[in-house]
Amino acid sequence: MDSSSGSSPRLGQGLVLLMAAACGLAVAGNYYAQPLLQILADEFGLGARQAGAVVTTAQLAYAAGLLLLVPLGDRLERRTLIVALYVLSAAGLLVCALSSGFALFLAGTLLAGLCSVGAQLLVPFAATLAAPEQRGRVIGTVMSGLLLGILLARTAAGLLAGIGGWHTIYWVAAALMLAVAGLLWRALPRHPGNPALRYGALIVSVASLLREQPQLRSRAILGGLTFAGFSVFWTTLAFLLSGPGYGYGTREIGLFGLIGAAGALAASVSGKLVDRGRGGWVTWGGAAMLLASWLALLAGAHSLAALIVGVLLLDVAVQAVHIANQGVIYRLDAAARNRITSAYMTCYFIGGALGSWLGGAAFAIAGWNGVAAAGALLAVATLACCGLTGKQRQRRREGVQARA
């Protein structure tokens, strides 16, 4: 099947759900290590900060893939590119499963993270295939799958580690990635790119889009800040829960992903509000909720109830801002959606990588109080960025009125 670059009736609910599941499975590979950090630290003789480098490596590799591979979706046939990346990501997971040393494990993490950006080719593909009046809902559904993958990865990793050791999750994930690659090959329509676009020019144009599109630039910064706060928490949670305050094992730590997954279900609600023109409200509400989440998470060092509330607020907030951001950027230039995705998501995951590093450093220096302080500062910065974005939007409206 061939698909045009516009909306397409071929995007049925079954395909939307497959794309959502495929997105979740792809990005999950970057987060299996989080509930296992203490086990990996013991296995490879690492400290907390060194173990946290596993997550940072995955996120930096993902950011590199966003910058170097995702723009190819505007040049190459998209279905073939997506499936190839899923197969290569499965190969990286197999390297992790087979590794007996930290260097080899990091190499597998690097390959899996670099190629897991197939998920970020599916998101703009869904936006392209969706009818304009349904685009927010479709993006919300696909992004729900992506965030559920990030969160449930922890649950799956924790449970399987308790059953068969930490290698087990990587064996299972590699097999699932190969199975999903086959399903995508059968279900996705062909979507020819523009081979006249040179690769070097594509990469340069990603930076040009950030420079020339103030809305893309502001939303990329906003997304990076929110995901940094998200990563500060999830990178350090295993250290809190395995410590003397809770004393949980990998199974209990992994179950916290289920709590976060409940928050991810808010994505479809956010998408519907964006479709109704309420994207500004979604952005501000998410940013305010982000700050509130860190107040609850601070108390979570000694209160399980507060920790659960904080996790829910954090995940709802991050997802709401992310959906609102995508509702804005995917209206900018339909012919450059993959490059727009590349620009936005590169900033997003650079923020996540910095958040992982910051969380590990804060925990090593000041324990959970340091983590909460770092997250709260990022939330305040997010609110400040919302204010600047609002002023930018007001100036743009005034400019349109003046020209009219």
Backbone conformation region of residue 45, classed left if phi is above 0, alpha if psi is from -120 to 50, else beta: left
Q: What is the mean pLDDT of residues 14-24?
A: 91
Q: What is the distance of C-alpha 366 from the center of its chain? A: 27
pLDDT of 386 > 80? The answer is: yes
Q: Which residues contact 284 (CB under 8 A, 6 or more apart)?
A: 386, 390
Does any domain span residue 22? yes
**Residue 5 domain-assigned (yes or no):** no
Indicate the range of 71-80, 247-256, 371-380 predicted with least confidence. 247-256
Q: What is the mean pLDDT of residues 272-290?
A: 78
134 belongs to a structural domain: yes
**Of residues 366 and 139, more confidently modeled:** 366
Q: Is residue 337 part of a domain?
A: yes
97-106, 179-188, 254-263, 357-366: least confident range: 254-263
pLDDT band at 8 (very low <50, low <70, confident <90, very high): very low
Token pair recorded at residue 117: 């950006």
Task: Report if residue 171 sits inside a domain.
Answer: yes
Identify residue 57 by its one-letter amino acid code: T
CA distance readout (Å), 338 to 213, 239, 246, 335: 15, 37, 44, 8
| Domain range enclosing 214 | 13-403
Give the N- to C-terminal CA distance of the chain in Å, as an integer.
44
In a domain, 3, yes or no: no
Residue type, 55: V
For tokens 């983590």, what's the residue? 371
CATH number reported for the structural domain that contains residue 197 in this entry: 1.20.1250.20
C-alpha to C-alpha distance for 177 and 158, rounded to whole angstroms:
19
Instruction: Specify whether the CB–CB gap between 258 and 154 falls below 8 A.
Output: no
Which tokens in the block code for residue 61? 């590799």
Mean pLDDT of 368-387: 93
Residue 1 has pLDDT above 70, yes or no: no
Helices marked H in 188-213 — which ranges?
199-212
pLDDT of the residue at 268: 63
The full DSSP string for 264-322 is HTTHHHHHHHHHTT-HHHHHHHHHHHHHHHHHHHHHTTT-HHHHHHHHHHHHHHHHHHH
> 308 in a domain, yes or no?
yes
DSSP one-letter code for 190: B
Characterise 219 by phi-psi region: left (phi > 0), alpha (psi -120 to 50), beta (else). alpha
CB atoms within 10 A of CB 310: 24
User: Given this model, what pLDDT does residue 5 score?
Assistant: 42
Token pair listed for 166 = 């930490």
Domain count, the chain: 1
The C-alpha angle 347, 355, 98, rounded to 5 degrees, equals 95
Length, in residues, of the chain: 404
Structure confidence at residue 102 as a pLDDT band (50, 70, 90): confident
pLDDT of 145: 85
Strand partners, 190: 2
**Residue pair 29/93 in contact by the 8 Å Cβ criterion:** yes
Structure tokens at 321: 């801002």
Does the pLDDT of residue 181 top 90, yes or no? yes
d(CA 348, CA 266): 20
Residue 6 falls within a domain, yes or no?
no
